Amino acid sequence: MTAICTCNCEGEFGDTPGLPPGYHATLRASCAVHGGNGYAAFLSQKRLVVQSHGRQVHDTDINPVLYPFQRDLTRWACKKGRAAIFADTGLGKTLMQVEWARLMADKSLIIAPLSVAPQTIREAARLLGVAVTYSRDGRAGEGITIINYEMAEKFDASEFGAVVLDESSILKSIDGKTRQKLTDQFAQTPNRLCCTATPAPNDITEIANHAEFLGIMSRAEMMAAFFVHVTDTEAAWTWRLKGHAEEPFYRWLASWGMSVRLPSDLGYEDDGYILPPLTIEPRWVEAGYRPEGTLFHLGLHGIQDRSRVRKATLEARVEAAAALVAKHPGQWLLWCGLNDEADQLAAAIPGAVNVQGSDSADHKAAMLEAFQAGEVQVLVTKPRIAGFGMNLQNCRQMVFVGLSDSWESYYQCIRRSWRFGQTEPVTAYIVLSDAEEDIYHNVMRKEEEANRMRERLIEHVREYEREEIADSAEEWEYETDAIESDSYRLILGDSCERLAEVASESVDLSVFSPPFLSLYTYSPTERDVGNSRTPDEFYGHFAIIIDQLMRVTKPGRNCCVHVAQVPTQLARDGVIGLTDFRGGVIRQFIEQGWIFHGEVCIDKDPQAQAIRTHSKALLFAQLRKDAAWLRPALADYILVFRKPGENAVPVAPDITNNEWIEWARPIWYGIRESDTLNVAEGRGERDERHIAPLQLGTIERCIRLWSNKGETVLSPFAGIGSEGYMAVKLGRRFVGIELKRSYYDAAKRNLARALESVTRRLL
């Protein structure tokens, strides 16, 4: 086939308002005649992944102490510039973040929990030979400075070229105002790294917090792009991934955050990273507890009930924990939730050291170091003090003297000792009263769920992460196909490319409904025009097709575009209202050289629309509650555009004067909303919305008004073949292009039915 120029070479190539900069140059670069690949570049930019903004480093730049997988993760994070390393406990996040900080800027800042800072300083000096300065007064040293989260606001972020958040899951536990202040404080820092354990994939908040701090995407943008708000029950709302967003979401996550449970997740050997056995052993204390004023204990109800039980059973639990320590020699970690628990344990166990919140920072650090060195045999403390980031592999025995419902707190405490580098089996006792059995089972249930979800996360992102590490991302699967008869030609593929197969000035009329800007509603691919992040990106993509339509259409002939106004969403747009999609399409066609010839409004049933969309703007309840929210139902429009030039073959429509009187009205009545082809035939199981094919009555009026029998009707968004079905039945030839295989297959069946119907009628 002879290549056809698709870039409007004879036109001007300046930038056009509303289009991406250099858009026309992009078209020219993508033209088959000129041998370019600009469209591929456009698609690559459109793909929702995080581009690299950092610097290239080589293995020789990185300290050889790091294992190969650690070097590769560090090199990747340096290349990204803004990234997260979600690596399980013991995988060496401290070494990686210190090396990253050293490589990325002359002056770097590490922000860490209070208990972790001294440990980071020791490991950096001992293993890497890197000096890290601990500061408490707002003054930064040369090279790398480490501070506590509580001190962050005292530092001038502009001093640093790079910042690290160590144990960055802390973003979830600090209040929203403080978290936003931290995010704003370092918003201009060019290089940012977050390090924490693997996030739960269903913990949307944690992923969103990291994306916001790194400047990758706001929570609102993330939710609008990948998630849909649904009701699990009449009273409960929740978020879930859109069906077609699963692959793009995990690819996007892997493009800025590496989730690693074991080195083998990235294709490395797990030698040295197989954990020893872990035993979780509950010890039940018969406390005989019953709430005041009751005959029996009937379970725990709410936070106050849990607090009362914990206080009432304190002495029995402390006694049981002390007995365990006395029976089994060696070092012990005792995790408490109440000050009274800690005080009584320290009094009951000889040599026990209680590290509590009221202690000075120096005392806390000194006691934790003494425990790590084996100088302290029994450490009593709280999860919020030593439960994050500490390397306590020196100890293999621990007791939870009571338990909260927080699985994350429980998990982090377990992993202080049961982590890579531990050589002995680890035993964790959970001492609870029989009245607290519900809490134990709740945490264990969360543990099982978290393990399943973590496995799913790693399974989903493993391939994309390996591609990221190797810098070898592959193209997504893209199918092409075609079928042709005397009455139609149906093409599977991307209209931006396959319209080049349609001869110039060969089309008499185009009728179609373009996709609206709605990410991952019908497909996961960036080739889908609707999968655009912004209006500019959408119209820039759509404009490529509009240009092609101009080329293939005969002078003086028409293009009919079906549109509707698009409601905005509070989660995505920050306001409930309307987007002027109709106006945007008109502007885009005019900018591409078309003449806006006319439009018709199609009447809609407001009650049917209210039932389908549940829009508060149409509900009877809103009429009584606050009519300021009410608005008319959203109408459909047919926008008619004409290609400049003289029409060589006059159109002689087969319509009566009475029909013309009816169809010449600015509003078309009598179009039945249910007059469509069978939408179920093309719907995919991951589609978030039902296919909304154009009503056959609307298509019929367009074809009969603006084309002659035997002429060619085109749809670059053929869907399930509605326009082709009517074109064939009305004696026209149809050319359609569809990107999605399931729609293409449905369109094939519908076109075959239309042709069969015409054949039967002629017999």
Q: Give domain status of residue 16, yes or no.
A: no
Q: Give domain status of residue 223, yes or no.
A: no
Domain boundary among 432, 459, 486: 459
Query: According to the model, what pLDDT value does residue 19 have?
Result: 38
Q: Give domain status of residue 24, yes or no.
A: no
CB 482 within 8 A of CB 499: no
551/594 same-domain check: yes
**φ and ψ of 730, to 5 deg:** -95, 15
In 65-99, which positions are buried (b, 16+ CB within 10 angstroms) versus exposed (e)? Answer: ebbebbbbbbbbbbbbbbbbbbbbbbbbbbbbbbb
374/429 same-domain check: yes
Q: Give domain status of residue 230, yes or no.
A: no
Q: Give domain status of residue 38, yes or no.
A: no
d(CA 78, CA 108): 13
570/595 same-domain check: yes
Q: Give domain status of residue 382, yes or no.
A: yes
State the total domains in the chain.
Answer: 3
In 147-175, which positions are buried (b, 16+ CB within 10 angstroms) versus exposed (e)? Answer: bbbebbeebebeebebbbbbbbbbbbeee
CB 550 within 8 A of CB 29: no
CB 715 within 8 A of CB 510: yes
403/541 same-domain check: no
Q: Give domain status of residue 29, yes or no.
A: no
Instruction: Express as a percent the part of the chain with pLDDT over 90.
Output: 51
CATH of the domain at 75: 3.40.50.10810
Q: Give domain status of residue 232, yes or no.
A: no
| pLDDT, tens digit (0-9, with 9 covering 90-100), for 524-563 | 888 999 888 888 999 999 999 999 999 999 999 999 999 9
- Sheet with 488-492, side-by-side order of all strands: 481-484, 488-492, 733-738, 712-715, 507-512, 553-564, 636-642, 595-602, 667-668
**φ and ψ of 313, to 5 deg:** -110, 15
| pLDDT, tens digit (0-9, with 9 covering 90-100), for 714-755 | 999 999 999 999 999 999 999 999 999 999 999 999 999 999
| pLDDT, tens digit (0-9, with 9 covering 90-100), for 363-400 | 988 999 999 999 999 999 999 888 877 889 999 999 99
CB 554 within 8 A of CB 560: no
482/343 same-domain check: no
| pLDDT, tens digit (0-9, with 9 covering 90-100), for 587-599 | 999 999 999 999 9
Amino acid at 248: P
Query: According to the model, what pLDDT value does residue 68 have?
Result: 92
549/638 same-domain check: yes
344/260 same-domain check: no
491/418 same-domain check: no
261/282 same-domain check: no
Query: According to the model, what pLDDT value does residue 18 have?
Result: 40
Task: Return the structure tokens found at 500.
Answer: 């080049």
Antiparallel, parallel or unpaired: β 162-166 and 107-112 = parallel
Which domain does 704 fall in, by range?
476-762
453/575 same-domain check: no
CATH of the domain at 334: 3.40.50.300
428/454 same-domain check: yes
